[in-house]
Structure 1
Amino acid sequence: MVAKGYSVDLNKPLVFQVGHLGEDYDEWVHRPIVTKEGPRFFENSFMEALTRTVWWAIPVVWLPVVCWFANMSYRMGNTLPEVAVLVFMGVLLWTLMEYTLHRFLFHMKTKSYCANTIHYLLHGCHHKHPMDRMRLVFPPAATAILCVPFWNLLKLITTPSTTPALFAGVLLGYVTYDCTHYFLHHGQPSKDPAKHMKRYHLNHHFRMQTMGFGITSSFWDIVFGTLPPTKSSDHKN
């Protein structure tokens, strides 16, 4: 693959190559290659293994954590209905986070070597190789690192007994998101709403990558005006 002045060799580890694309990186990374086998990221086998995660690791690792934090909130004095409401609020908070991260972080424009490399690791690789089964969900170790500042932020703006339940809800929303995302790429739904969700998300990948940032819901796309037009609307325009 060639992007003006720099050529990316897909037969060699990609991570330390893509940064050299400079301003051409955005165009290159949004030209998807649809293959079942994902590319190699690193020459080092240990580093390579850290980038690969099976989808079922997400619920196995994080659902017990969700239960533990919800139970912590209960033990701190909240009733079960109160915990349930707080967890639900956390799930709603996650949907906004999901949209915001996808739109403003995962789709930011980059051109420096470091920024291109980081973006490729975060999300660019998914758009370049959207059917890579082992890089569709976020590695649990990386998620755990990101959870620390978010937990501390929640502690600053909420009460001690509500923080764990809200955090449990956000984690539950994240688990739902990652599992849904995997299914939308590799599942074969035959009925709505799952069939519509798959069409909606693949539209983001292959037709209109600057719109349709919601994964588990299109609600925030509607609110913020990033809902993709229908094909009939495109034709009229």
Structure 2
Amino acid sequence: MVAQQFTVDLDKPLVFQVGHLGEDYQEWIHQPIVCKESPRFFGNDVVEFLTKNKWWYIPAIWLPVVGWFLSRSIFMGHTTLDVALLVALGIFTWTLMEYSLHRFLFHIETKSYWGNTLHYLLHGCHHKHPMDGLRLVFPPAATAVLLYPLWNLIKLLATPSTAPALFAGGLLGYVMYDVTHYYVHHGQPTSEYPKNLKKYHLNHHFRVQHKGYGITSSFWDKVFGTLPPSKVEGKSR
């Protein structure tokens, strides 16, 4: 007797359904539903509310934190130029983290019930509903939890006076990433660079989903050979 394939009911809360897809989960999330309405994740209204975030929460919450850490390095004797260079290094380091997390964690292939469920919450939901504006940026509470071990790691690797500026740079890089990610989905760019960035990222969603992992730029895709093929090459395969 052949087992019947599981079908997700889009009219019911999704999170605890997707795990049942098993090996079909990867194919399912890569068939996007282009709709600005937010799907229902959980039956509980409080938990459902906590899964939604407006994009402006990110700069409103984290830019003051960036400023505070910058002030710590300045207070400990670093010049403005010193701090600017440390911030630039922090931002550059973040871009590599951005690429690595997107490629190796967000696009990990799962097939078990809990693997699919956790992946859907982490990134699968974004590929299934790429225009859901309320689940595009990372929840600030979850970010805070992740920042704590990152701050402790930076303190181990840097001096007491340089660590705050490096951390501020990495956090600023994250803020730039999240607001850029929102913009390439929902903004209407008029100048060439943001237009190309939008086209590059939407290509990742709708045409070549296993390449083009950069969000704020394609730099690391070029370095690691994950640039998507041109349209001509894509059609010829």
Class of the TM-score when normalised by the shorter of the 2 chains: over 0.9
Superposed CA deviations along residues 121-145 of structure 1, whole A, max 9, x for unmatched, are 1110000000001001011111001
Distance 1:164 1:18 in 2: 41
Change (3 A) 1:159 1:113: same
Q: Compute the displacement of 1:201 (Å).
A: 0.3
Which position in structure 1 is the counterpart of 2:155?
A: 155
Counterparts of 1:66-77 in structure 2, within 5 Å, are: 66-77=66-77
The whole-number CA distance in structure 2 between the counterparts of 1:209 and 1:235 is 15
Query: How far apart are 1:15 and its partner, in Å?
Result: 0.7
Kindly state the Cα deviation for residue 16 of structure 1 after the two structures are TM-superposed. Answer: 0.8
The aligned runs of 1:82-121 (5 Å cut-off) are 82-121=82-121
Distance (whole Å) between structure 1 residues aligned to residue 150 and residue 31 of structure 2: 33
Deviations 1:23-82 (A, max 9, x none): 111111111001110101111111111110000110000000000001111112221111
What is the RMSD of the two structures over their aligned residues, measured on CA atoms?
A: 1.0
Question: Alpha-carbon deviation of 1:233?
Answer: 2.9
- Off by >2 Å, runs of 4+ in structure 1: 232-237
> Equivalent residue of 2:192, what SS?
coil
Q: What 5-or-longer segments of structure 1 have no aligned partner? A: none
| CA distance in 2 between partners of 1:233 and 1:10 (Å) | 35
In 1, Cα distance between the equivalents of 2:17 and 2:162?
45
**Distance apart, 1:236 and its partner CA:** 5.0
TM-score, normalization: structure 1?
Answer: 0.96
Q: Distance in 1 between matches of 2:162 and 2:192?
A: 35
Q: Partners of 1:199 and 1:41 in 2: how far apart? A: 28
How many angstroms does 1:10 deviate by? 0.6
Paired positions, count: 234
Q: Which residue number corresponds to residue 168 of structure 1?
A: 168
- State the distance in 2 between where 1:8 and 1:99 align: 30
Distance 1:235 1:220 in 2: 25
Measure, in 2, the Cα distance between the counterparts of 1:156 and 1:108. Answer: 29
* Structure 2 unaligned blocks of 5 or more: none
Identity across the alignment (%): 67
CA distance in 1, matches of 2:110, 2:11: 24
Q: 2:124 — aligned with what? A: 124
TM-score (norm: length of structure 2): 0.96
Cα offset for 1:190? 2.4
Equivalent residue letter for 1:34: V
Q: In 2 relative to 1, CA 236–18 (structure 1 residues): closer, same or farther, beyond 3 Å? A: closer
Structure 2 distance, partners of 1:149, 1:130, is 30
| Cα distance between partner residues in 2 of 1:96 and 1:77 | 29
Distance 2:41 2:59 in 1: 25
Deviates more, 1:55-64 or 1:186-195: 186-195
Letter of the 1:106 partner, please give it.
F
